[in-house]
Chain A
Amino acid sequence: MLRAICRSGGSGAGALRRDERMIDAVDGFSGSGRLREALVGVAAGDRGAFETVYRLTSAKLFGVCLRILTKRSDAEDVLQETYTAIWHKAALYDPERASAIAWLVMIARNKAIDRMRADANDRHAGPIELAADIGDAAGQPAVATEADDERRGLDRCLGELEPRQRGLIRTAFFEGVTYENLAARGGVPLGTVKSWIRRGLIKLKACLER
């Protein structure tokens, strides 16, 4: 499916095809190599490649924006800002440091979080359940992607945290909310929430680097 979409949007640099096959073989995942190729095309100013990147990733990035901003019109605006930044900054993408989709998600998250802060209008107001069963990553089936090792490592290390630390860290990542928001929604003093999350992050780092 992904491969078919990429093919139909094919406008990338032909010279990259052989490298791409090698990347595919290494990744075992055809989409990532094609997305990377398209991103290289965008860096060179190829509009067709830009459209390919958009078609491969816009639903994911819109999901990211919507999860943080919750309001569709805001998410639509930030999606536009995100792809505008991708068009202008694709040359800064470094395949050595991040997968293409991780880099694109990072841009979308940063733009969405900045928009939420600028509006000072945080719509995430529901209570945060700090009980053990919330935000338990152990139940999540691992999706087969090239990031499997990273995913397993993160799942394992999040699983070693106290449930409330895990729940807060996951909520913060998905919603992009501030310490203040988490404290208010959790009914916990600000200092306590900071302390829980920071200790969770230190423990997480130690585990991930083991």
Chain B
Amino acid sequence: MSGPGSDHPTPDRSVLAAEYVLGVLNAAQRREAEARIARDRAFAAEVAAWQAHFAPLADEIEPVEPPMYAWPRLSSALFAKPARSGLWESLRFWRGFAIGAGALAAAAIAAVFVLPRQPPAPTPAAPMVAAINLDDGKPAFLAAIDTERGTMLLLPVTVAIPAERVAELWLIPPNDKPHSLGVVDVAKPMSIAIPIALRGAVGVQAAVAISVEPLGGSPTGQPTGPVIAKGGITSL
């Protein structure tokens, strides 16, 4: 073949196949090679042979565990269910959780569910809840909204966030973009004050979601990391 410095002739079929498998071609050449794989059986066979030849090299590549949220993100993208499905299951879980949870959570839940039903309230607003579910249907957080006080009680259930990242809570009104409700604690219950401007948007048409963000929360005001859990708000 040509010597160093001389013009390089068009490579033969096998060399082109090897170059494609190796990955040295540029984008346009890769598209050409893929088109040829589709129409030229002999070329496709050469590509397959080179794939097999080079396959053992991949043994030398060190495995690296992907982040924990990669699987929920993937399966949620592939298998996402309508927002309201699994609600009954989630509510049962919610009640079970409320009975079994520690004193703080129990007291907080009592405050949300019991106080609004006390007689003096003229028109008690129906309590609203949301199961913020991972894609597999398991709740990451459970939320109870006290519309009169404009607060949301958030209980972490099964949620893991990678190191150096935080979970951020979003309120998504119908036909609107997400509005941040702030960075949330994944380890203990917390009460969140819903900004006055957003209180009107909290309703059974709205959804809440959790995204993974850099420390300090989303720098843009919109989710920048993967959304790992979401759920629709429902009225009890």
Q: Specify whether A and B are partners.
A: yes
Residues of A within 8 A of B (CB): 47, 51, 54, 58-60, 62-64, 66-68, 76, 79-80, 83-84, 87, 97-99, 101-102, 105-106, 109, 113-114, 117-118, 140, 143, 145, 147, 150-151, 154-155, 169-170, 172-180, 182, 189, 191-192, 194-199, 201-202, 204-205, 208
The one of B14, B54, B66, B78 in contact with A87, judged by C-beta atoms closer than 8 angstroms, is: B78
Number of interface residues of B (CB under 8 A): 47
Contacts known (A63-B63, A97-B52, A205-B18); A197 close to B24, Cβ less than 8 A: yes
Give the CA-CA distance A182 to B53 in the complex, in Å: 22
Q: How far is the CA of A87 from the CA of B77 in the complex (A)?
A: 12
- Report the minimum CB–CB distance from A48 to chain B (whole Å): 11
Q: Do B27 and A208 touch (CB < 8 A)?
A: no
Q: How far is the CA of A89 from the CA of B226 in the complex (A)?
A: 24
Roughly how many angstroms separate A113 CA and B24 CA in the complex, as a whole number?
9
Main secondary structure of the interface of A (DSSP, over half): helix
Which residues of B are in contact with A by a Cβ distance under 8 Å?
1-8, 11, 14-15, 18-19, 22-27, 30, 48, 51-67, 70-71, 73-75, 77-79, 226
CB < 8 Å A-B pair total: 155
Kindly list chain A residues whose C-beta atoms are within 8 Å of the C-beta of B75.
Answer: 47, 51
Given A176-B23, A198-B11, also A80-B70 (CB < 8 A): yes
Q: Kindly provide the distance from the CB of A185 to the nearest chain B CB, expressed in whole angstroms.
A: 13
Contacts of A140 in B (CB 8 A): 60
List the B residue with the shortest CB-CB distance to A188: B4
| Chain A neighbourhood of B5, CB < 8 A | 189, 191-192
